[in-house]
Amino acid sequence: MSANPQFDVYRLPEEHEEIKAATREVCDAEVAPRAAETDANAEFPRKSYDALRAADLHAPHIPVEYGGAGIDALGTAIVIEEVARACASSSLIPAVNKLGTMPLLLAGSDDLKRRYLPQVASGEAMFSYCLSEPEAGSDVAGMTTKAVRDGDHFVINGAKRWITNAGESEYYTVFASTTPGSKSKGISAFVVEKGDEGVSFGAPEHKLGIKGSPTREVFFDNVRIPADRLIGEVDEGFKIAMRTLDHTRVTIAAQAVGIAQGALDYATGYVQERKQFGQAVSQFQGIQFMLADAAMKLTAARQMTYVAAGKSEREDHDLTFYGAAAKCFASDAAMDITTDAVQLLGGYGYTTDYPVERMMRDAKITQIYEGTNQVQRLVIGRQVLKGIMG
């Protein structure tokens, strides 16, 4: 304990340091050694999933009452950061489990939570999030997937695109129009199961990065589900979706921080071993400047992410600002840092024999999904104009 307790706010509590250390130990032993293979084969990292599941790190946010580890938002962000440091594809296991289940935690009935969350907590099932469509990415209100009430059921028709872990997940939070013509005010959220009749999947997308996390279209052809799988109330879906993203943009920020840390770690080790002109290249001022810039950006991104995670846990009034700002800043920083890491390795950085080119490819998506950084800047700007920025 410091002599002046008020300054303890600027360091992680001991329990979170323990979460960080435990996650790093698992990832160094079981996840990082498989990262290159996962990327090369573009296959879901089943063994990494098993390792995370064995350590209760696959869905750490699930509350204890539903069989989960009950780790808070900051601890979950740290888990995702540490997994991403080792393998970005694997970090989407805890991240997307949180994304998919957050609508239930925010607005689901007790029955719905007890029906689905324990299976995610145990690792028997994963949960994905179906919001984007072929013609409705940033324009969520433009979605065309429809859910029509039919007695005690809803019948869903449409398609969702860019769905992370589609086909691997057993459960899906699906957003659909229930009041045509009402745009954002006529959207509802539902739980759809992989085994429901009429659910099918497109071919996996061939992506630049995060290749071990399958991204596919999900199709709904007269999918008939019980009405009790409605999350919240009819036409509350848009509000639920936006509240969810306020929380889960923090996890993308954490993923970006982890990817950047992995790249900086590797590049720092490399420049101390690589020799040119009779000395380690780390002794050159230009190299040290690049490392210094990377370290400053990374430290700032991490602090923003941790603050946003704390606000997520408390559901502070300014979470929208902090979640968007952390996601935007951290992902931009990750792109800069991983690109410089490739530069620091020179020609070797451009080859698949070294991990930094993979990290650079993985970092790019953090600027795009869960709202492009252009959209984040719109969100941030509007919050500033409202006078909401902390």
Known catalytic residues?
370
DSSP-derived secondary structure letter, 97: H
- Cβ-based burial of 9 (10 A; exposed 0-12, middle 13-18, buried ≥19): exposed
What does the DSSP assignment read for 11-73? S--HHHHHHHHHHHHHIIIIIGGGHHHHHHHT---HHHHHHHHHTT-SSTTS-GGGTS----H
Distance CA 104, CA 271 (A): 47
The SS3 of residue 230 is: strand
Distance CA 189, CA 176 (A): 6
Nearest to 216, CA basis, from 81, 57, 44, 371: 44
Pairing mode, strands 230-231 and 187-193: antiparallel
Asked if residue 191 lies in contact with residue 112, where contact means CB atoms within 8 angstroms, the answer is yes
